[in-house]
Amino acid sequence: MKYEQVEEVKKLLEKDMDTISNMDELNELKVKYLGKKGLITNLNQLIKEIPNEEKKEFGGSVNEVRSVFTEFYENRKNAYEEEILNKKLASEAIDISLPATKVASGAPSILEKLVEEVEEVFMSMGYDVVDGPEIELDKYNFEMLNIPKGHPARDAQDTFYIEGEEVLLRSQTSPVQVRTMLKGKGEVPIRVICPGKTYRRDDDDATHSHQFMQIEGLLVDKNISLSDLKGTIDVLVKKLFGPETETRLHPSYYQFTEPSVEADISCFNCHGAGCNICKNTGWITVAGAGVVHPNVLKMGGYDPEKWSGFAFGFGSERLAMLKYGINDCRVFYNTDLREEKVFDRKEKDLND
């Protein structure tokens, strides 16, 4: 009698299996056979009523039905899951042959580009590119550059003081000269340039900004003279403004150089005919420079009897304005995107 019940369940199961066509139906089937009151579960309950010696055989036949079910269940379950996954993948497929949406890309800042170009020229001559702090000590920004406290030369640089009289925002990149010499501990040669930000209490106008950039240079070795300086500047400006560009030095005054000069380049625009870029002089001033003052060498730990050097300071914005035909330095620091356009156009002109 009880064995017949097992047979019945088995037959019913075989019939039911033929009707299943999706996951939901499969799950319903599971409940029908293995749920709390499922048909196979019920068969298990019958074991209690079976005499002991038959329990094993009866149990075996119930297990057989159970295996038929579980095998069917597992196979179908895997098949349905795969089907669902395939459908999902098909619906989410990406057509890689479609043209991509264009992503607007940024352009390099002209100032950054220019500084990089200058760095490359100097690195090719064996210079290191070094850095120094923008928050500087009065000692390095002035005193060790031969500008003692109270000296009138300080007035030319309207300095932002941060703490009392000792801590300031550097008004020039020249303090990096001092720091480099102190680090050099009397060893030669020193060959460095330092591009960096500088600060002065200037009112902002087309040619002034309270924050601007300089490119400082320092070379210390044996028998260095003004002609070395001139030759070095010449290499740079020919690279920046074209091979026909000439360099000229005219006398100037800085506390930390003796003699002091300003470096001019021949006007790349009018070639001497006269234009508003060179203010009809045919020459454009691009840097302050000179032979390092013996006091500065001495304070930096270099014996001025043995060593000499030259130093220079370019205004980065000025170089960029000249090179790219920009007449207002404020464009470097605002969000006027015309700056990039000027750059793109000039780059194209220069490459053509």
Alpha-carbon Rg for the chain, nearest whole angstrom, is: 42
Question: Which residues, numbered 301-340, are part of the site for ligand DAH (CB under 6 A)?
Answer: 311-313
Q: Alpha carbon of 241 to those of 119, 135, 163, 325: distances in Å? A: 15, 33, 42, 12
Nearer CB in complex with ligand DAH: 282/309: 309
Residue with smallest beta-carbon separation from ligand DAH: 313
The counts of H helices and E strands in the chain are: 11, 10
**Binding-site string for ligand DAH from residue 201 to residue 240, where x marks contact by CB under 6 A and - marks none:** ---------------x------------------------
Residue 244: phi and psi, rounded to 5, are -85, -5
Interface with ligand DAH, residue 257, by CB under 6 A = yes
> Strand, coil or helix: what is 259?
strand
Q: Which two tokens stand for residue 34?
A: 């293995």
Nearer CB in complex with ligand DAH: 132/313: 313
- Bridge partners (DSSP) of residue 167 are 137, 163
Nearer CB in complex with ligand DAH: 198/266: 198
Q: CB of residue 246 vs ligand DAH: minimum separation in angstroms?
A: 20
Place of tokens 């309950």: 45
Cα-Cα-Cα-Cα torsion 188, 235, 294, 187, nearest 10 degrees, comes to -10
Nearer CB in complex with ligand DAH: 65/229: 229
Nearer CB in complex with ligand DAH: 69/199: 199
Return the residue of 132, 196, 290, 309 that touches ligand DAH, per CB under 6 A.
290
Stretch of 21-29, 77-85, 93-101, 284-292 contacting ligand DAH, by CB under 6 A: 284-292
Interface with ligand DAH, residue 69, by CB under 6 A = no
Return the residue of 254, 268, 283, 324 that touches ligand DAH, per CB under 6 A.
254
Distance from C-alpha of 40 to C-alpha of 321, rounded to nearest angstrom: 90
> Strand, coil or helix: what is 288?
strand
Q: Are 329 and 321 in contact (CB under 8 A)?
A: yes
Stretch of 1-9, 109-117, 241-249, 287-295 contacting ligand DAH, by CB under 6 A: 287-295
> Strand, coil or helix: what is 196?
strand
Question: Which helix (H) or strand (E) element contains residue 287?
Answer: strand 283-292
Q: CB of residue 292 vs ligand DAH: minimum separation in angstroms?
A: 7
Q: CB of residue 339 vs ligand DAH: minimum separation in angstroms?
A: 24
Positions touching ligand DAH (CB under 6 A) are: 172, 174, 216, 254, 257, 288-290, 311-313
